[in-house]
Chain A
Amino acid sequence: MIEVRSLDVSIGGHQVCRGLDFAVPAGKSLAILGRNGAGKSTLLATLAGLRAADGGQVRVAGKALHEHTPRELARLRGYCAQQQHDAFAATVLDTALVGRHPHLDRWGWESASDTAMAIEALQRTGLAGFETRQVQTLSGGERQRLAVATLLTQGAQLLMLDEPLSHLDLNHGMALLALLQGEAALGRTVLAVMHEPNFAYRHFDYTLMLFGDGQWACGASAEVIDALSLQRLYGHPLRTLQDNDKPWFIPE
């Protein structure tokens, strides 16, 4: 679904990655790990085609990003930003419905089936009954779930999420991870910037580590993530606790 070939990305003189190569097929998920400022969000935005790379290529659904029109691309990949800014009042339902934009003609109006998709997405993110609430009255976690609902309403095959777990409490965080796994099980591709390596290990097929100096490591989560690589990644020692057959990595 997404294929990255010798990609160079930098921002403001900081090298995010050099010669990045990976591919995530349909039905699989990838977590991006790295320290604050390593360039995780920059990389995700580059993969989504929202900013230009220095070199190399990102291919989505067999074509390079620039070979898709913006509208085609918006029907293939969804992108959920780290933060949402609501300048004007709007209802929760209307905010989720914005996701239908790339599917409507220039003069088209949201149909009953578009509304039904938005309502279903709100239900799946635990926002049933919030339809007429104003976005500006939502808590941080509720707003975050609404952003995910907008992403689901977009109905793209490739889902990109920048820190989807931020602001979420434990139950909603776990529910969202299950939801993303469910999307992958349906054949979609999920890319997410993550903060918690244990979730990357348990809930994502692949993990990409950005070491902050342009170096990176990518592979199956269980192979890439271990106490040593995490220590290198975060610059803090970690201990491995074995629980049944899966390890937990906890900071010393």
Chain B
Amino acid sequence: MTHRRHLAVLLVLLLCAAAGLMTALVMGSLPVRPADVWAALTGGSGAMADVVLQLRLPRALGAFACGGLLALAGALMQVLLRNPLGDPYVLGISGGASVGALCALLFGLTALWINLAAFCGAFLVLLLVFGLAHGEGSWVQSRLLLTGVIVSAGCGAAVSLILSIAPDQSLHGMLFWIMGDAAYITQPLPALLVLLAGVLLVLPLARDLNVLVRGDTQAAALGVSVNALRWFTYFLAALLTSVAVATAGSIGFIGLVVPHLMRLVLGNDQRLLLPASALGGGTLLVLADTLARTVIAPQQLPVGVLTALIGVPLFLYLLARQGRSA
């Protein structure tokens, strides 16, 4: 695929993202006409503008950022593990975030404090996993993963413990957090900035990652500094995941499925796949979140359930189609 075609694909995905965001701003218990949305975005005021700017825009942008972060982290983990089953949560980051967030919920803290506690939990796990797995040699990669799996299991037990001792009135909020819910988004800006920084950091490395997919030996023979690249990418993926789960809880499925969807449609060139995953993941999560808050309004569903309900059939369809053509 040529450079120009890559740019065309990204432009189309960018338009899809804009359309997805517009859908999120238009839809809701109070329908807003696209013209009013435009007016609100370009400086209008009034009740409509308040709904759009105060309620829907931060949530839509936050959902977009989280979806993009998870999909980008998932795409990176799949390259690092050279395994299509790679997922942003394999290093146990979401477990740490869950423990942090649930503790905050247990003590009755709200809003920003939950996000902060979740990020602290995620970051502590990240330091723990990388600290324990630090060293030289090929065994380090497996040790990193094993450490992640074990820490994840430990966090799972802590989560169960908190759930079992938590008072009934906070259980609902806890369950929504564990499944992932964009209602926890208070401030979308940090996640958006981290997403932008993440994409800008991986793009210059994308061709090195293309070579890394072919195996460590091949990559080293072609002049890639394999160890440095691996550690940097692991750490970056873990950090992106931390920010995503701290913002909206551990939303499942996006990180595993979006890179796959993109790979099935666009191929495995990381120069296209990484930005496309970020855009596609963001768009999918915005649409899922819009559905989550409108489908049985006024009641809201956790968006993590919707991502799975949309993602599973879409993914199975593409997989079956590819199976027939191959």
Chain A contacts to B: CB under 8 angstroms: 45, 48, 50, 69-75, 78-79, 81, 84-90, 94-95, 98-99, 101-102, 104, 106-107, 109, 134, 137, 150, 154
Q: Are B268 and A101 in contact (CB under 8 A)?
A: no
Q: Are B223 and A85 in contact (CB under 8 A)?
A: no
Asked whether any CB of chain A lies closer than 8 Å to the CB of B221, the reply is: yes
In the complex, chain B residues whose CB is within 8 Å of the CB of A89? 263, 268
Residue among A70, A73, A109, A134 with the highest chain B CB neighbour number at 10 A:
A70
In the complex, chain B residues whose CB is within 8 Å of the CB of A102? 222-223
Asked whether any CB of chain A lies closer than 8 Å to the CB of B210, the reply is: yes
Q: Are B213 and A87 in contact (CB under 8 A)?
A: yes
Q: Are A101 and B207 in contact (CB under 8 A)?
A: yes
Q: Are A98 and B223 in contact (CB under 8 A)?
A: no
Q: A70-B224, A70-B225, A89-B268 are in contact. Are A104 and B217 (CB under 8 A)?
A: no
Report the minimum CB–CB distance from B267 to chain A (whole Å). 8
Asked whether any CB of chain A lies closer than 8 Å to the CB of B83, the reply is: yes
Q: Are A88 and B84 in contact (CB under 8 A)?
A: yes
Partner of A70, one of B3, B83, B223, B326: B223
* Chain B contact residue count (CB 8 A cutoff): 26
Partner of B211, one of A48, A81, A84, A98: A98
Q: Are B3 and A87 in contact (CB under 8 A)?
A: no
Q: Are A85 and B207 in contact (CB under 8 A)?
A: no
Give a binary string over B1-31; 1 marks a CB under 8 Å from any A CB, 0 the rest.
0110000000000000000000000000000
In the complex, chain B residues whose CB is within 8 Å of the CB of A81? 215, 217-218, 221
Q: Are A79 and B84 in contact (CB under 8 A)?
A: no
In the complex, chain A residues whose CB is within 8 Å of the CB of B217? 45, 50, 79, 81
Given A98-B214, A101-B223: 5 more A-B contacts, CB < 8 Å: A74-B221, A78-B221, A94-B269, A98-B222, A109-B2
| Whole-angstrom CA separation of A102 from B211 in the bound complex | 10
Q: Are B263 and A88 in contact (CB under 8 A)?
A: yes
Q: Which of B188-242 contact A (CB under 8 A)?
A: 204, 207-208, 210-211, 213-215, 217-218, 220-225
In the complex, chain A residues whose CB is within 8 Å of the CB of B268? 88-90
In the complex, chain B residues whose CB is within 8 Å of the CB of A87? 82-84, 213
Q: A88-B263, A90-B268, A98-B214 are in contact. Are A134 and B223 (CB under 8 A)?
A: no
In the complex, chain A residues whose CB is within 8 Å of the CB of B2? 109
Partner of A50, one of B84, B204, B221: B221
Q: Are A101 and B83 in contact (CB under 8 A)?
A: no
Residue of B nearest to A100 (CB): B222
Q: A88-B263, A90-B268 are in contact. Are A74 and B204 (CB under 8 A)?
A: no
| Whole-angstrom CA separation of A2 from B84 in the bound complex | 40
Q: A87-B213, A90-B268 are in contact. Are A101 and B204 (CB under 8 A)?
A: no
Would you mind naming 22 contact pairs between A and B with Cβ atoms under 8 Å apart? A50-B221, A69-B223, A70-B220, A70-B223, A70-B224, A70-B225, A74-B223, A75-B223, A81-B217, A81-B218, A81-B221, A84-B214, A84-B218, A85-B215, A86-B214, A88-B84, A88-B213, A98-B214, A101-B207, A101-B222, A101-B223, A102-B222
Q: Are A98 and B218 in contact (CB under 8 A)?
A: yes
In the complex, chain A residues whose CB is within 8 Å of the CB of B215? 81, 84-85
Report the minimum CB–CB distance from B100 to chain A (whole Å). 34
Report the minimum CB–CB distance from A43 to chain B (whole Å). 15
In the complex, chain A residues whose CB is within 8 Å of the CB of B213? 87-88
Report the minimum CB–CB distance from A243 to chain B (whole Å). 38
In the complex, chain B residues whose CB is within 8 Å of the CB of A74? 221-223
